[in-house]
Structure 1
């Protein structure tokens, strides 16, 4: 039996996935969690072979949880509504073995679990094509940090205080990020970077 842990912040989604996977003769759902932090604890407690992990959840994102699960003897499939190219690249960098969007057919999800359990990588083909055509994020780590801070809508002074940078440095990073995203405002830059999955 392939032991699976389901991690999604929506209980209805978790229940539906558990019911669908429970119909498979070779798959057993051994646990469920609703947050990224619960995912780590549940993985330690249940020792799953495969973790189906959502990306956007309260209390920490699934990408950070995927990186934390690397130390445990399990493989991760990101299962998300948000099929964004940047998310795919970040998920693979975090150690995920698969990336599947939630509107995939149930039989394809079960097959993805089997393939990942067997040591293969599984990526939604449409998302893979879009990722190849859009490339990797042009933003530096510092620009991403500043953009994440800017997403809250604070002033340049607020961002500078929070990140322990000068206001001039924050302005430079915001200006560079705006240029790289083709945005006219920092709010637009944040929106574009989020849509691409870079933030």
Structure 2
């Protein structure tokens, strides 16, 4: 039985290479390719894949949110996150969103194909190093609002800019930023953004 695949990655070269490698497998066929996270569900509805391989960083919608939407719309479609960013927080968030597998892009082609087969058969596949790192790091210490504020702070704007982006007062934003810096053990706001990003909390 042929496993039908949907590929989502904003880098056409990577997406094309992935498609070529997986098409070499006798039991796999790529039925859809998209370059944006917000195109995943529509493409899946049109092509009825068995497994969707999604990148994390994509325009329109990130791969974790796309996983959540796809899982809600078409729960029978299995999802494997295939990402350059092997961050522990991404793994945890992806699994909560409904992903069945999580592998990094430098995984050998044979292992990736094997991961697809295992996920398609109902198993869960997670990069072992990343799984260990995720357990070591633990869950994000940030509240939903703190996460929203520090995510807005990535753009590097002023407190006023951040307040406008998240619809909070400047005083409240300062309080949230202070809390984030304390929880992450950062030296300043930029350091807090770096730490949160490296742990996949954003």
TM range (shorter): over 0.9
Say yes or no: does 1:20 pair with 2:21. yes
Q: Which runs of 5+ in 1 are unaligned?
A: none
Q: Residue 128 of structure 1: which of 131, 136, 139 is its match?
A: 131
How many residue pairs match? The answer is: 199
Task: Give the CA deviation at 1:164.
Answer: 2.0
How high is the TM-score relative to the length of structure 2?
Answer: 0.96
Q: What residue in structure 2 maps to residue 57 of structure 1?
A: 58
Task: Give the CA deviation at 1:110.
Answer: 0.5
Task: Give the CA deviation at 1:168.
Answer: 1.4
Q: What residue in structure 2 maps to residue 3 of structure 1?
A: 4
Task: Give the CA deviation at 1:161.
Answer: 2.3
Write out the 4+ residue segments of structure 1 that deviate beyond 2 Å after TM superposition. none
Q: Secondary structure at the match of 1:79?
A: strand
Task: Give the CA deviation at 1:166.
Answer: 1.7
How high is the TM-score relative to the length of structure 1?
Answer: 0.97
Q: What residue in structure 1 maps to residue 116 of structure 2?
A: 113
Q: Give runs of aligned pairs for residues 1-199 of structure 1, distance below 5 A.
A: 1-70=2-71, 71-72=73-74, 73-199=76-202
Aligned residues: CA RMSD? 0.9
CA distance in 2, matches of 1:11, 1:152: 26
Q: Which runs of 5+ in 2 are unaligned?
A: none
Q: Secondary structure at the match of 1:83?
A: coil
CA distance in 2, matches of 1:34, 1:117: 23
